Chains A and B, each alone.
Chain A
Amino acid sequence: MAARRSGSRLEGEIERCRGENQWERIPELVKQLVAKPLQLDDLSELLLGEAKLQQYLKENPIKQGSSPRGQRPRLAEVRKHLTAALERGNLKPDYQQEATLLMGKLCYVEGDYREALNHYSRVNLDEMQLVGAPVYRLSMIAEAYATRGLCLEKLPAASPSLSSRPADRDQEILTCYEKSGDIALLYLQEVEKALSAGLQNRSPKPGPVSQDQELGYFLETGLQRAHVIHFKNGNLTRGVGRFREILRAVETRTTQNLRMTIARQLAEILLRGMCEQSYWSPLEDPPPQSPLDDPHCPTRSSRDYALSRRPRVYSGEKYDANRDAVLSRIPEHNADRVISLQSASVVYDLLTIALGRRGQYEMLSECLERAMKFAFEEFHLWYQLALSLMAAGKSARAVKVLKECIRLKPDDATIPLLAVKLCIGNLHWLEEGERFAKMVVDMEDKAPEFRAKGHLALGLVYSLKATDASLRGLQEEYQRKALGAFQRAQSLSPTDHLAAFYLALQLAVSRQIPEALGYVRQALQLQGDDVHSLHLLALLLSAQKHYHDALNIIEMALSEYPENFMLLFTKVKLETLCRGPEEALLTCKHMLQIWKSCYNLTNPSDSGRGSSLLDRAIADRRQLNTMTLPDFSDPETGTVSTHTVRDSRIRSVCSTGLRGSFLISDLFRPAGHAFCDHFPRRRPSTASNTLCMVCSVHATSIAASRVEQALSEVASSLQSSAPKQGPLHPWMTLAQIWLHAAEVYIGMLKPAEALACTLEAASLFPLSHNVLFMKGQVAELRGNTEEAKRWYEEALSISPTHVKSMQRLGLILHQLQRYSLAEKVLRDAVQVSSTAHSVWNSLGEVLQAQGNHAAATECFLTALELEASSPVLPFTVIPRTL
């Protein structure tokens, strides 16, 4: 084994071992060396001393922040070796220097800083050859600088070897550390190079080598102390500059951990200590002074770059963090897991802060999802994921994750509340919602405001269930429950306007108008400019037939919420009633203008990933357009492309004269309706609060739900930075505006214009039952009963519970004298919506025609009673969300 090797070969081996920190092998090699006739005694002393010192340090690593201890027997041995090597003085100059440096290091380890400095001053560190030096020597020099810096820091200011002024001294310390850091990086790169070379021609086993590449205390200090001092002195500029220098060094395997740490720290600094204006790009020169009091104002481009910088730091991080994920659940690895979890969650937290303030929740949720490998039983990560999913609009998944959060932290009321919010908002998962809400209510020891919120949530769930219920008894049961819950919420938190408001709404839905008025007033006292309260107040007044008061309220509300389409729709209705259709048409025109100004701002960026919003919206619209039912046929729209249809419509609308010039053509100048990111936060997914504002219906047919699904996909892909008002998809809003205009025209007995408006809406949503219903109305107006019947039937085939269509269909059947069928349809309609007075009325007529006078009287009476309390639009128009 111990084969004789030639001297140079042995030296090479020794050098390699030194470079690769294989100190254990040195003594053995030295033995071989000594056996040679060369004059190497001193060198072997040096080597032995070094090896022992390093071995000692390896076994007793110096902790950061603690001073090295005093003398130890093992160190004395080292000292003996080194002194022996130095004293005889017949070492080669290189080795002489090395010995001195080692001596200095030894002195530091022993705690004798002054002596260490003396040793260092004997060697001119600055003049030592770096290029072409053996690898181990680089490390030695780097350590020497670091040690020197440490000594300087430890010694009191008035040290003979230093200039007296503290500023210079600090500067010297900094220089030491910076040099040490630079040389350390060089060393690591050289090691890497040697290693890769070794891979090719010498060492087939990189394992042991790379495993030993741990930075010692001195190198770590050298690499990191400089910026620590910078930040301590409040010099962000130079600290950040230093960070960047380190990060820009060519990456090596060993530095990856260091880079990760540095990148994280840089990110922290950037987030905590800097802002866009004080940022400068790494490619520019840093500002001359500290940014804190510096007038440097970055140019536009640099600011853009600045912002881009931050996430970049993170994404690098992200990757590294992932790599170290300790998946192991073995108890032995718990400690490891905690560490990697901590560092990972720090990274993800920083990422959240950076992306959150920029509103990039979608991206964030994707990143956090990748963090889930750390997340077993870690509440924080689960919760953050849930929140990010929620913020990104991915409701269904968010609910699932929230469930896990509830399991991990069952006593936090916020989590089930968030779940309820999602369930009753977009998802319409009322059963789940009820479960979550009950969970909150059952948490007895919570603060009253949270309990009140729980009751409110429960009430909303019941209220929505009541709307959905098709059996009268069930409906009343839910309404009763909802009222109870709202009352409970209101008593628990009397200053919450929402509780009072929903109580009022619930009372209004069950047609207890005076009580509802009382509560809505209370809500308005608590929160004067709440749009929904104002809207409800107006509807309540209209139910009492105080149309002018209602209109005043609406106008007042509109002065605060000029772009709220729901208020505007109500206004159209009210104006038709008390100021005539001309006024209402003006409002429709106004709405179109608002729609344009709100949604026509182009969004120049690709938001999120890849395709732009605009493209997406257009694509989705095409999808909608091409999605036709087999029996749906409209020769006009079927053959002509939608755009030409629109143009012709506009022309016809203009020519027929929409009372003054209805200059809409410029509304649609760009081929795509560009709109900005004003999208509904409360994305409506059920027909009840989207497509059919006029009637509360939940779509049950497949086609309708497909439309819904497509729409909600569009909506979910949008950012959530939307105004709270206008919970409608822009295209739906537009369609609604057209339909309202059509309705006004029908009221004016102008079928041609009404049809034009309807076709506008149809070009957006050809399958909307509202559009079909309106077509039926137009046909009816033209006296074309058969056609009308067909339209109504189509509307019902899409949305079988569309009450208005049912009512009209029933009437037509009545006209056609098909009484029993008419009665069946109308009875179904009453079943769906028991408060629609017109349906009761029609039913009465049909029954009368059948000769069933007693029942007919009942119906008429009911209709009369209901009419006395019916608002212009159903109360359920008002969204019920948490």
Chain B
Amino acid sequence: MLAMDQGVVEEWLSEFKTLPETAISSYASSLKEKGSLVPALYKVIRENYSDLLEPVCHQLFEFYRSGEPRLQRFTLQFLPELVWSYLSVSAGRDPHCSGCIEALLLGIYNLEIVDKDGQSRVLSFTVPSLSKPSVYHEPSAIGSMALTEGALANHGLSRVVYSGPHLQRETFTAQNRFEVLTFLLLCYNAALSYMTSSSLQSLCRLSSRVSICGYPRQQVRRYKGINSRMMVTSEFLVQLITGIHFALCNGESELGSKALDDVLYRAQLELYPEALLVGNAIKSSLCGAALKSNKEGTRSIQVEITPTSSRISRNAVTSLSIRGHRWKRHDAVDLGSPDELMEISEVDEGICTQPSAQGGSPPTIVVSNATTAVSGKLMGKGLRRLGGSRSSKEKEKEKEGGADQPSRKQSGNRAMSENLELLSLKRLTLTSSQSVPKAGTLSLSRTASAVFSRSFEQVSNALAAAAGAQQQPVPSNPVASPTPNHHHFSRENRYSACSLQEEHLSPIQHHQQQQRSPSISLHLAPDV
């Protein structure tokens, strides 16, 4: 240790002692300016046998006890180094055990486990509930939730204790060692964003060393020093990982990712599910962009502009549409608002216009060989949704879909182009688990007629009723469709939630609709 460093530390020791109560806060803010002090203190802590260690520890404790947050953070920044120093000494079972470091650690622990009134501190947080409004949301806007038992059980905010109460500890024993250290790291993690990068580096080194000492990986990391294994607990590792996560995102990506790997390695060997869980999550959430953008070592977090529109194409079956599906089938009470369904807006219909040409491997279930009632819904929504617009793309699609359909019409139910059929079959594979019972088919096709009568506005009411009856092709609006005899048929025995949902909007309105939107497509409802 250089004489200069020693001088700095000694000055620091004497300065605080003479400080009057009132000057503490200004002193705390002036600490930052002493650039050489912190490295000098690190040196003192690392050299276990330094004469200065004891007064330094004492003074650090005084800082902590002062209650001034900046002084407390000044002490806390040395915590990883202190913990390492303590652990390495206790692992070496050194007779000159560094009692003052132990005392400092225990002192901080005993200060932190009680609140101002001397009561045991219990750290808790509230688990928010979606069913209660908050500054960010109203429950109604998120859509209705099923009134299940589970939902009721989760109703209301519940407080969850995650730490505490803790017992006062007079000495370290093998039993309470990691309990105390875990809690200390918890305190450290609570002040993470005030920690200097040297402190974060020290935390990463601590994590690495604790994890790999005595294991074959120690050679890989080329760390020499203690080579006996240290016991750890899962909670301790989780706290370490929390700190590493912050370091990783705030400029210590290299050391941090090494440390994370080491901790995960250890967690694997010890088979600690908790540490593995959190570590894996961090690893997978960080892989990619976030790490890259931080290479320059700035302590900032990058956020990118992300396209917000949903990129899910409309004929993908989502959990949402499945959910809607189920409502109908069981004739359950209609809880959902139509809004929920509408928001799957889609960008790329490229996916549905060029289906399965190359991906034409046979679908797994071939149910619908024209005899069974089951057949997929043919992009019903997709075609219907066009409204007044007639972009060239849409027309193409129609042609493509409807080109060979007149002939198919005669052949009864098989009124679909092959592509579309394939598509619908594939969709079928999803829902086939609940295949349609015969009885249900009939009622379903009735609802179908209701949908049609409304969505093809040129059809008179009488016609719509007729359309509902059986298998009758309904001519579409001649203005809207490119040629009158290009009809679309979709065999709607199976409805997606979307089409069913629309039905609930308001059947009354379809008169007004007639005036307005010239619509295009045409649906055929074959029955069994």
Q: Check B135 against A277 for contact (C-beta < 8 Å).
A: no
Determine which of A231, A327, A363 lies in contact with B302 in the assembled complex, contact meaning CB atoms within 8 Å. Answer: A231
Q: Are B235 and A721 in contact (CB under 8 A)?
A: yes
A331 and B359 in contact (CB under 8 A), knowing A205-B513, A308-B128? yes
Bound complex: CA of A773 vs CA of B464, how far in Å?
84
A358 an interface residue at 8 Å Cβ cutoff?
A: yes
A141 CB → nearest B CB, Å: 20
B142 near A319 (CB under 8 angstroms)?
Answer: yes
Closest 7 CB pairs of A and B: A312-B128, A307-B125, A208-B387, A308-B126, A352-B281, A272-B249, A356-B278
Most buried by B among A300, A330, A361, A526: A330
Whether A204 contacts B388 in the complex (CB less than 8 A), given A292-B193, A352-B278, comes out as: no
Beta-carbon contact of A276 and B305 below 8 Å: no
Of A387-395, A540-548, A630-638, A641-649, the one contacting chain B is A387-395
**B311 to A: closest C-beta gap in Å:** 5
A-B contact pairs, 25 of them (CB 8 A): A22-B387, A65-B305, A210-B345, A213-B345, A227-B303, A234-B298, A271-B245, A307-B126, A310-B125, A329-B429, A329-B430, A330-B316, A330-B426, A349-B282, A353-B282, A360-B162, A361-B277, A380-B280, A384-B280, A453-B269, A495-B214, A559-B173, A605-B160, A607-B161, A725-B175
Asked whether any CB of chain A lies closer than 8 Å to the CB of B306, the reply is yes
Which chain B residues border A447 with CB–CB below 8 Å? 216
B249 nearest CB across to chain A (Å) = 4
Q: Which residues of A contact B245 (CB under 8 A)?
A: 271-272, 353
With A228-B304, A308-B157, A528-B93 as contacts: A353 and B246 at CB distance below 8 Å = no
| 19 further contact pairs, Cβ within 8 A, besides A204-B513, A311-B125, A495-B214 | A204-B505, A248-B136, A251-B138, A272-B249, A275-B189, A277-B194, A329-B429, A332-B359, A332-B426, A358-B125, A358-B162, A359-B162, A386-B273, A388-B277, A449-B216, A453-B271, A562-B175, A605-B160, A723-B179
A275 lies within 8 A of B193 (CB): yes
The smallest beta-carbon distance between B63 and chain A, in angstroms, is 15
Most chain B CB inside 10 Å of its own CB: which residue of A233, A391, A603, A676:
A391
List CB contacts (< 8 Å) of B248-287 with chain A. 248-250, 268-269, 271, 273-274, 276-278, 280-282, 284-285
- Measured in the bound complex, the distance between the Cα atoms of B120 and A597 in whole Å is 14
Interface residue? B190 (CB, 8 A): yes
Smallest beta-carbon distance A289→chain B, Å: 13
Which residue of chain A is the closest to B389 with respect to CB atoms? A24
Residue of B nearest to A452 (CB): B269
Whether, in the assembled complex, B381 has its beta carbon less than 8 Å from a beta carbon of chain A, the answer is yes
**Which of A86-94, A255-263, A683-691, A825-833 faces chain B?**
A255-263
A166 sits at the interface (CB 8 A)? no
Tell me the A710-726 residues at the B interface (CB within 8 Å).
Answer: 720-721, 723-725
CB pair B159–A605 under 8 Å, yes or no, is yes
In the complex, the answer to whether B278 meets A357 with C-beta atoms within 8 Å is yes
- 1/0 contact string of A179-202 vs chain B (CB within 8 Å): 000000000000000000001001
Note all chain B residues with C-beta closer than 8 A to A329. 429-430
A838 near B: Cβ within 8 Å?
Answer: no
- Does the CB pair B277–A356 fall under 8 Å? yes
> Cβ of B153: which chain A residues have Cβ within 8 Å of it?
609-610
Asked if A497 meets B271 with Cβ closer than 8 Å, knowing A211-B345, A253-B339, A356-B238, the reply is no
Chain B, residue nearest A368 (CB): B277
Known contacts A274-B193, A295-B70, A721-B235, A215 near B312 by CB under 8 Å: no
Q: Does B442 contact A (CB under 8 A)?
A: no
Q: 0/1 per residue, A214-231, Cβ < 8 Å to B?
A: 110000110111011001
A133 interface hit (Cβ, 8 Å): no
Q: Are B175's CB and A560's CB within 8 A? A: yes
Instruction: Answer whether A311 and B175 are a contact pair too, CB < 8 Å, given A349-B285, A387-B276, A601-B167.
Output: no
Q: From A327, A383, A497, give the contact of B229 (CB < 8 A).
A: A497
Pick the interface stretch among A100-108, A414-422, A656-664, A693-701: A414-422
- Report the nearest B residue to A239, measured CB to CB: B303
B228 touches A526 (CB 8 A): yes
Q: Is A593 an interface residue (CB 8 A)?
A: no
Assess whether B465 is interfacial by the CB under 8 Å rule.
Answer: no
Query: Considering the chains assembled together, what is the distance between the CA atoms of A639 and B235 in angstroms?
Result: 46
A32 CB contacts on chain B under 8 angstroms: none
- Set of chain A residues within 8 Å of B246, measured between Cβ atoms: 272-273, 275
Contact residues of A: prevailing secondary structure: helix
Q: Is the CB of B385 within 8 A of A207?
A: yes
| B191, B385, B388: the one within 8 Å of A275 (CB) | B191
Tell whether A786 is near chain B: CB-to-CB under 8 Å. no
Is the CB–CB distance between A359 and B189 below 8 Å?
Answer: no
Whether A327 lies near B305 (C-beta < 8 A) is no
The answer to whether the Cβ of B129 comes within 8 Å of any Cβ in the partner chain is yes
What is B's interface to A at a CB cutoff of 8 Å? 69-70, 93, 115, 120, 122-130, 134-138, 141-142, 153-154, 157-163, 165, 167, 173-175, 179, 189-194, 214-216, 228-229, 231, 233, 235, 238-239, 241-242, 245-246, 248-250, 268-269, 271, 273-274, 276-278, 280-282, 284-285, 290, 298-313, 316-320, 322, 338-340, 342-343, 345-347, 351-352, 355-356, 359, 361, 381, 384-391, 426-427, 429-430, 454-455, 479, 502, 505-506, 509-510, 512-513, 516-518
Residues of A within 8 A of B352 (CB): 332
Contact A208 B386 (CB under 8 A): yes
Evaluate contact between B385 and A211: CB separation under 8 angstroms: yes
Distance (whole angstroms) from the CB of A317 to the closest CB of chain B? 10
Would A720 and B347 be within 8 Å (CB), given that A268-B301, A275-B191, A277-B190 are in contact?
A: no
Given contacts A295-B70, A603-B161, contact A357 B238 (CB under 8 A): yes
Q: Please measure, in the bound complex, the distance between the C-alpha atom of A361 and the C-alpha atom of B274, giving whole angstroms.
A: 8
B173 and A349 within 8 A (CB): no
Q: Which of A115-123, A338-346, A461-469, A508-516 contacts B (4 or more CB under 8 A)?
A: A338-346
Residues of A within 8 A of B505 (CB): 199, 204, 206
Cα-based distance from A212 to B342 in the complex (angstroms): 11
| Residues B284 and A531 in contact, CB atoms below 8 Å apart | no
Residues in chain A near residue B386, CB distance under 8 A: 208
Indicate whether A328 sits within 8 Å of B280 (C-beta atoms), given known contacts A336-B312, A609-B158: no
A414 to chain B: which residues have CB within 8 Å?
A: 268, 271, 276
A205 and B127: CB pair below 8 A? no
Residues of B contacting A597 with CB < 8 Å?
Answer: 167
CB distance from A232 to the nearest CB of B (A): 7
State whether B312 touches A220 (Cβ < 8 A): no
Q: How far is the CB of A873 from chain B (nearest CB, A)?
A: 20
B299: contacting residue among A203, A227, A292, A725, CB under 8 A: A292
Shortest Cβ distance from residue B355 to the other chain A in the assembled complex, whole angstroms: 6
Bound-complex Cα distance A383 to B276 (A): 10
| Chain A residue nearest in CB terms to B510 | A204
Q: Name the B residues within 8 Å of A215 (CB-CB).
A: 308-309
Tell me, rounded to whole Å, the shortest Cβ–Cβ distance linking B97 to chain A. 13
Q: Is the CB of A357 within 8 A of B281?
A: no
Q: Is the CB of B277 within 8 A of A265?
A: no
Which residues in A have their C-beta under 8 angstroms from that of B126? 304-305, 307-308
Which A residues, 306 to 333, have Cβ-Cβ distances below 8 Å to chain B? 307-313, 315-316, 319, 322-333
Given contacts A228-B304, A272-B301, A418-B273, contact A251 B278 (CB under 8 A): no
* Chain A residue at smallest Cβ distance from B93: A528
Taking CB atoms, residues of chain B closer than 8 Å to A531 are: 174-175
Chain A proximity of B400: nearest CB distance (Å): 16
A345 touches B312 (CB 8 A): no
Asked, given contacts A336-B316, A495-B214, A564-B175, whether A251 binds B141 with beta carbons under 8 Å apart, the answer is: yes
- Residues of chain B lying within 8 A (CB to CB) of residue A453: 269, 271
Q: Which residues of chain A come closer than 8 Å to B190, judged between CB atoms? A: 275-277
Kindly state the separation between the CA atoms of A799 and B321 in the bound complex, as whole angstroms: 54
Nearest residue, chain B, Cβ from A223: B308
Instruction: Identify the closest chain A residue to B250 (Cβ).
Output: A273
Which one, B239, B273, B343, B513, contacts A387 given CB within 8 A?
Answer: B273
Q: Assuming A275-B192, A604-B122, A723-B175, is B509 touching A204 (CB within 8 A)?
A: yes
Q: How far is the CB of B178 from chain A (nearest CB, A)?
A: 9
